[in-house]
């Protein structure tokens, strides 16, 4: 047992799959400085996750890009990305902020999952999600 030390072990940021799909809402996930790139990937949409699609009524792959879209520039959340980038650039990494992540079903791009994420006290918190 090595848990008796005064300093708690760093809890690694969960995988993107866990953050967006598996973990329950309102769980506080501590963000370390080395997690910056992960947070940027999340916000800028560099990920795919496997998730149950309520419209397909079966598991599907979701990504932040619409199926068939040739434009690889992220759509929609650029202002959020700029906001986060400026936070990091200003040395105020992980200030409190809110952002949304839109994921598209790989089968039908009209199937969307929207995940609301907040950063509070240097913790990432999933505050809600809905299918549309
Ligand atoms: Zn679907």
Look at 32 and 81; give whichever has higher pLDDT.
32
71 vs 29: which has the higher pLDDT:
29
Q: Range of 121's domain?
A: 16-131
User: Does 2 map to a domain?
Assistant: no
CA nearest to 40, candidates 107, 117, 110: 117
Look at residue 119 and tell me if it is in a domain. yes
pLDDT tens per residue, range 89-113: 566 666 788 888 889 999 998 999 9
Show the tokens assigned to 28.
């506080």
* C-alpha–C-alpha distance, residues 37 and 14, integer Å: 13
Q: Is residue 7 part of a domain?
A: no
pLDDT, tens only, 10-39: 778 999 999 999 999 999 998 887 887 788
Beta-carbon count within 10 A of 33 CB: 9
Split into its structural domains, the chain has a count of 1
Q: Which pLDDT score is estimated for 70?
A: 46
- Whether residue 1 has pLDDT greater than 80: no
| Ligand 1 center from residue 104 Cα (angstroms) | 8
What spacing in Å lies between the alpha carbon of 53 and ligand 1's midpoint? Answer: 5
Report the alpha-carbon distance of residue 39 to residue 97 in Å, rounded: 12
The reply to whether 1 falls in a domain is no
Q: How far apart are CA 61 and CA 111, in angstroms?
A: 11
Ligand 1 mean position, distance from CA 52 (Å): 8
């Amino acid at each position: 047992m090595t848990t008796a030390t005064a300093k708690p072990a760093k809890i690694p940021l969960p995988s993107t799959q866990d953050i967006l799909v598996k973990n329950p809402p309102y769980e506080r996930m501590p963000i370390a400085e080395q997690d910056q790139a992960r947070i940027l990937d999340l916000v800028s949409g560099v990920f795919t996750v496997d998730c149950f699609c309520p419209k397909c009524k079966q598991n599907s792959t979701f990504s932040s890009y619409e199926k068939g879209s040739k434009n690889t520039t992220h759509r929609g959340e650029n202002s959020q990305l700029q906001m986060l980038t400026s936070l990091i650039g200003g040395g105020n990494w992980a200030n409190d902020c809110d952002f949304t992540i839109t994921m598209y079903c790989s089968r039908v791009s009209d199937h969307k999952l929207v995940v609301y994420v907040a950063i509070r006290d240097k913790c990432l918190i999933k505050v809600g999600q809905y299918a549309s």
